[in-house]
Amino acid sequence: MNNKNMGIANNNRGFLSKFSNFFRVGGVYIAFVILLVISGILSPRTLEPLHILDMLQNGSVLGIIVIAQTLLIITRGIDLSVGAHVILIMLLVDGISMANPSKTALVIVVALAVGMSVGLLNGLLAVKLKIEPLVSSIGVMSLLTGISFIYTKGFGKGQAPPFVRELGSGQIFRVIPISVIVWAVLAIAFIFILKKTVFGRYIYAIGSNPKSASLVGINVEQTAILVYVISGLLVSIAGILLAGYLSNPTLAGGETYPLDSIAAVILGGTTFAGGKGGIGGSIIGTLIIVFLASLLNILGLGHPWKLIAQGLIILVLVFSYTGRNRSV
Amino acid sequence: MPKKLRKYWERFNSVIIVYVFLIVVLTAVSIVFPVFRSPRNLSNVLIQITPLAIIAIGQTIALIGGGVDLTVGVVASFTTVLAGNFMGQSPFGVFITIIFIFLIAIVIGTVNGVICNETKIPPLIVTLATGSIIRGIILSYRMSPGGSVPRAIVHFFNIEFSIFSIATVVLILLYVIFTLIMSRTKFGISVYAMGGNPEFARMAGISVKKVRIMTYIISAVLAAVAGLVISARTGTGIPNVGDPFLMDSLTAVIIGGATFAGGQGFIVGSFAGAVIVSIIHNVLNISNVSPFYQYIAKGAVLLIAMILNSRKKKL
């Protein structure tokens, strides 16, 4: 049924849908270049290498969360609990280690284990129990926020051990932030996994058509849950970096990650219908979000304008990718 | 079982189950927490229920129509901010502001409905994005609580008859009106038909696009009414006061028996859902549990309701 409709749509391709398809694949790069040119004109300082590296470091936590969100959206999932999740991991890393270097291994293991458990929970709810993932992850978000509050009694405490601090805020050769390198390594790894491995092909297969994926012998449920677990793991890595980046842990600040990460993924051309898109576009999407926020800041337009811009961007881009509704 | 009775059971079992559940919860809570029964606390519970239950009406209609509205919380916040800023400005301030607020709510609902109609973007994403835009507009206007709502409005909503206030009367009226609309009018039947199968509804001669826009307008206007009730209680404009209502309204509606698949659910069921959610909040308050546990309780209740709901769909 779905395929048939798509076939009809393909035959009736007008200029607009050709344009939108071109835009979906290449548009994000053009948009990014335009954004760079605009910010260069408005404030040349933004294009200085040091400022760019600074922004990349700022964006690395979001960037890793975006990789997780991309994997989920390709498989028709989504996760709104990423913000509460990343904050919980940061609080655990800081609170358990209390800046004690001997507990470095412990906090990292705890963080990764918690991350995978949260991913597993989200996966079981969405895949096994078939709850609308957007809503189930709102429920999980509330659970994680509650756990963060109970664990800290409302006030962030402790500090990350030196190694984690080095990961989050250190630099190689005093220039290149280590967190940016972590982001780049993860991005390259997942680009490779998606493009070159069997598991990557499974991810696209269950996203584009779960029924036929299961007919060719892919264990759809298992693969989808595994994607959730991997995403949980990625978010917990982002949480470790955040713990190293911020010198004082706070309970606030996670609220922006869900919408930021979804906006970045959509900007990059991954669609909600599943089975399409990839990490490369999402990274450029992340850069657009980060550079846009910085540009708005320089122009004296703060957080409210970012919310407005993002809402509009999501609507316009999803519309340009999916096209008009002709059925009802 | 007589045939007629069985028919009723088949049609209304979700409502009957949620009311039985409500009675069990009420009984259990009254026995375990004697404080709960005190008139003072009961009137507190009623005050807590009102905005949530009003928002739940709109959310139910959105879900029955096969959609969902994630903007209810920000619309309520927007209303309190506008009320706080403009109501005290002139002698006609209250009246004009209320009309202005409803106009804005109608615009928001229309925008949501039109985007859902004309694009293939899922309603969850549409209202997530419009919600972000509305939040941005609120915050560019007012970052922290402020402004004041005239005493007249505060007094009006809080006039009390024994444990009922005007706000409660408004609530009951809205439930009666919308229950009648959804069960007795062409519009109500159209919403159920559209949620069940939009294609069939269109073939049956229902103008699906208009009905869908109406569901989002109703949802936004009711969120604005809830916002007015909240501003009468707080007496000021608070830019994030509506945030909890998004999750609470979804929980209430899902406990009440509506599903994300659409075409199912009853407004009276959502009322029971709203009461149950409010009782949970109240019990956590009066039993001196740390407020932090509220997050856990709310998340758990939403997830359990969703799980039970997804079981029902399979049957």
Lowest mean per-residue pLDDT among A202-206, B8-12, B54-58, B178-182:
B8-12
Number of helices (H), then strands (E), belonging to chain B: the values are 13, 2
| In contact, A170 and A242? CB cutoff 8 Å | no
Structure tokens at A130: 């078939």
| Mean per-residue pLDDT, B299-315 | 73
Question: Given this model, what pLDDT does residue A259 score?
Answer: 85
| Mean per-residue pLDDT, A269-297 | 86
Element (DSSP H or E) covering residue B161 = strand B160-161
Structure confidence at residue B110 as a pLDDT band (50, 70, 90): very high
Contacts of B208 in chain A (CB under 8 A): 328
Q: Is A51 on the interface with B (CB under 8 A)?
A: no
Question: Given this model, what pLDDT does residue A75 score?
Answer: 93
Candidate ranges A127-141, B5-19, B32-46, B126-140; pick with highest mean pLDDT: B126-140
- Estimate the crossing angle of helix B243-255 against helix B267-286, to 10 degrees: 120
* pTM, entire model: 0.83
Each domain of chain A, given as residue ranges in start order, spans: 49-253
| In contact, B158 and B144? CB cutoff 8 Å | no
CA B164 to chain centre: 20
Lowest mean per-residue pLDDT among A5-14, B28-37, B290-299:
A5-14
State yes or no: pLDDT of B288 exceeds 70: yes
State yes or no: pLDDT of A10 exceeds 80: no
State yes or no: pLDDT of A95 exceeds 80: yes
B187 to chain A, minimum CA–CA distance in Å? 17
| Mean per-residue pLDDT, B34-48 | 85
Predicted confidence (pLDDT) per residue in A70-80, tens digit? 999 999 999 99
CB contact (8 A) between residue A311 and residue B293: no
| Mean per-residue pLDDT, B194-212 | 91
Rounded to whole angstroms, the Cα distance separating B7 from A299 reads 65
Q: Which residue out of A251, A255, A314, A322 would a mutagenesis test of the B interface target, given it has the greatest number of B Cβ atoms within 10 Å?
A: A314
State yes or no: pLDDT of A11 exceeds 70: no
Is B34 within a domain? no
CB contact (8 A) between residue B133 and residue A130: no
The gap between the terminal CA atoms of chain B, to the nearest Å, is 21
Nearest to B194 by CA among B205, B181, B184, B185: B205
Tell me how many residue pairs between chain A and chain B have CB atoms under 8 A apart. 145
Q: What average pLDDT does the structure give for chain A?
A: 86
| Mean per-residue pLDDT, A148-160 | 87
CB contact (8 A) between residue B303 and residue A312: no
The gap between the terminal CA atoms of chain A, to the nearest Å, is 15
* Among the partner residues B120, B250, B295, nearest to A146 by beta-carbon distance: B295
Residue A71, classed as helix, strand or coil, is helix
Beta-bridge mates of residue B271: none
Question: Given this model, what pLDDT does residue A315 score?
Answer: 84
| Mean per-residue pLDDT, B171-182 | 95
Question: Given this model, what pLDDT does residue A18 score?
Answer: 60
Structure confidence at residue B161 as a pLDDT band (50, 70, 90): low
Candidate ranges A10-19, A145-154, A311-320; pick with highest mean pLDDT: A145-154
| Strand locations in chain A (E) | 171-172, 176-177
Q: Is A20 on the interface with B (CB under 8 A)?
A: no
Is B267 within a domain? no
* Among the partner residues B126, B295, B310, nearest to A143 by beta-carbon distance: B295
CB contact (8 A) between residue B140 and residue A323: no
Question: Given this model, what pLDDT does residue A274 score?
Answer: 80
State yes or no: pLDDT of B311 exceeds 70: no
Domain count, chain B: 1
CB-based burial label for B23 (10 Å; 0-12, 13-18, 19+): exposed
Rounded to whole angstroms, the Cα distance separating A169 from B296 reads 33
Question: Given this model, what pLDDT does residue B296 score?
Answer: 86
Say yes or no: ipTM exceeds 0.95: no
Structure tokens at A304: 């409210």
| Mean per-residue pLDDT, B288-315 | 76
Nearest to A68 by CA among A190, A161, A182: A190
| Mean per-residue pLDDT, B275-285 | 89
Is B265 within a domain? no
Structure tokens at B181: 């609309």
Candidate ranges A97-111, B78-92, B287-301; pick with highest mean pLDDT: A97-111
Q: Which domain holds residue B193?
A: 46-243
**What is the percentage of chain B residues whose pLDDT exceeds 70?**
95
Predicted confidence (pLDDT) per residue in A206-242, tens digit? 998 888 888 888 899 999 999 999 999 999 999 999 9
* Among the partner residues B136, B143, B260, nearest to A307 by beta-carbon distance: B136
State yes or no: pLDDT of B92 exceeds 70: no
CB contact (8 A) between residue A259 and residue B128: yes
| In contact, B312 and B260? CB cutoff 8 Å | no
**Helices (H), ranges, chain B:** 3-32, 39-64, 72-86, 93-118, 123-141, 151-158, 166-184, 186-196, 198-203, 208-234, 243-255, 267-286, 292-314
Rounded to whole angstroms, the Cα distance separating B44 from B206 reads 43
Tracing tokens 């250190």 back to the chain, one arrives at: A170
Rounded to whole angstroms, the Cα distance separating A161 from A90 reads 12
Structure confidence at residue B111 as a pLDDT band (50, 70, 90): very high
Predicted confidence (pLDDT) per residue in B71-86, tens digit? 999 999 999 999 988 8
Give residue B9's identity as a one-letter amino acid code: W
Contacts of A144 in chain B (CB under 8 A): 299
Structure tokens at B273: 């859902």
Lowest mean per-residue pLDDT among B84-98, B115-129, B245-259, B290-304:
B84-98
Phi, psi for residue A176 in degrees, rounded to 5: -85, 120
CB neighbourhood size of B286 (10 A): 17
Q: Which residue has the higher pLDDT, A170 or B88?
A: A170
CB-based burial label for B67 (10 Å; 0-12, 13-18, 19+): buried
Structure tokens at B94: 């209250």
Q: Which residue has the higher pLDDT, B76 or B148?
A: B76
